[in-house]
Amino acid sequence: MKRLVVIFSMLITTYGWSQNTFKRSLMLMGSDFEITVVAPDSAAADKHITNAVNEMERIEKLISSWDPDSQTSEINRNAGKKAVLVDRELFELIERALGLSQLTDGAFDITYASMDHIWQFDGSMQKMPNSEEVKASVAKVGYKNVELDKINSAVYLKRSGMKIGFGAIGKGYAADRAKKLLRDMGVSSGIINASGDITAWGLQPNGAPWKVAITNPMDKQKAYGTLPVTEGAVVTSGNYEKYVVFNGKRYSHIIDPRTGYPSNGLVSVTVFAPKAELADALATSIFVMGKTVGLNRIAQIPGVSCIIIDDKGTLFASEEIEIAKL
């Protein structure tokens, strides 16, 4: 297997851009998105990017749990009552999400939306919730209580009050769909940054690969270096901005859906995968699973690798990745 030399920083750097590279920044899914394409002129680029934006807005309407008219909201409203017929696209997304839940032993779980949000990471928490509050907060969470009817493309949440949500997978899926659409339209090269969920294909106009960099969470002002990406996705999850500290222990905003307690011990996880949807889900899962289990689980998935930074600033990586600091 070809070894990757990975060096860190969290800016996207694109050296050697020419006038044939076009970029648009905008808000989608409540987050900052940036779409970059290589095209012969600005008119062609604008058309391509607009079509990609329209596709991501379509996906947002399909998966949004905030839109009362979405199929996702319809599923949630009927929890414990009846199965809901949904578009095949949504059904298959939920099916893949449940597969990821099995793969990660529930560290990833789209029914996390059922949680009572008793942890606050805005500076307002003065003490930890007690064990009974934590236990109650995840009482309705559990991917095994999602029932799928593949023949009729129907989804049923078995317990009243259950909810599904795509916060840990939706942006990655939208980026993948936009990338596919652009490639189908003949866009030979581009990079999509869906609020940190990055997917790229092709080369820059000067023949160089796109360059993605990953922040050093212990000192965001200093860069380790960059990683060339010509095909695939890179997603980084970090807890260095949203966390609380009690009794000298740091608790991340990433909650274990199985226990209701925040993850701890890691500050940054970067996953490299063929698709952003997969990388998105796994980056969150590794935070919950921890370094040892996370590295072991990633090693079992073909074409996927990761870099982990613990709360002491130590780097750990999949075997096929070679870390080279500047």
Domain that holds residue 9: 4-42+187-323
Q: Cβ(164)–Cβ(142) under 8 Å?
A: no
Q: Cβ(108)–Cβ(168) under 8 Å?
A: yes
DSSP-derived letter for residue 105 is T
Decide if 201 is inside a domain. Answer: yes
Q: Which two tokens stand for residue 72?
A: 């996702």
Decide if 139 is inside a domain. Answer: no
**pLDDT lower than 70: segments of the chain:** 1-19, 214-225, 240, 322-326
Decide if 52 is inside a domain. Answer: no
Matching residue, tokens 């095209």: 39
Task: Report the distance separating Cα 215 and Cα 225, nearest Å.
Answer: 9
Cα-Cα end-to-end distance for the chain: 24
Write out pLDDT tens, residues 51-78. Answer: 999 999 999 999 998 899 999 999 999 9
Ramachandran class of 312: left when φ > 0, alpha when ψ lies in -120 to 50, beta otherwise:
alpha
- Alpha helix (H) ranges present in the chain? 42-63, 71-77, 88-103, 131-137, 170-184, 276-289, 291-299
Write out pLDDT tens, residues 182-204. Answer: 999 999 999 999 988 899 999 99
Decide if 246 is inside a domain. Answer: yes
Burial of 62 (0-12, 13-18, 19+ CB in 10 A): buried
- The domain total for the chain is 1
Q: Cβ of 25: how many Cβ atoms within 10 Å?
A: 10
Task: Report the distance separating Cα 305 and Cα 282, nearest Å.
Answer: 10
Decide if 303 is inside a domain. Answer: yes
DSSP-derived letter for residue 326 is -
Length of the chain: 326
Task: Report the distance separating Cα 295 and Cα 305, nearest Å.
Answer: 8
The β-bridge partners of 249 are 246
Task: Report the distance separating Cα 239 and Cα 171, nearest Å.
Answer: 18
CATH number, domain of 37, equals 3.10.520.10
Decide if 159 is inside a domain. Answer: no
- Alpha helix (H) ranges present in 195-247? none
Decide if 270 is inside a domain. Answer: yes
Decide if 13 is inside a domain. Answer: yes
Q: Do the bridges between strand 243-246 and strand 227-229 make them parallel or antiparallel, or are there none, so unpaired?
A: unpaired
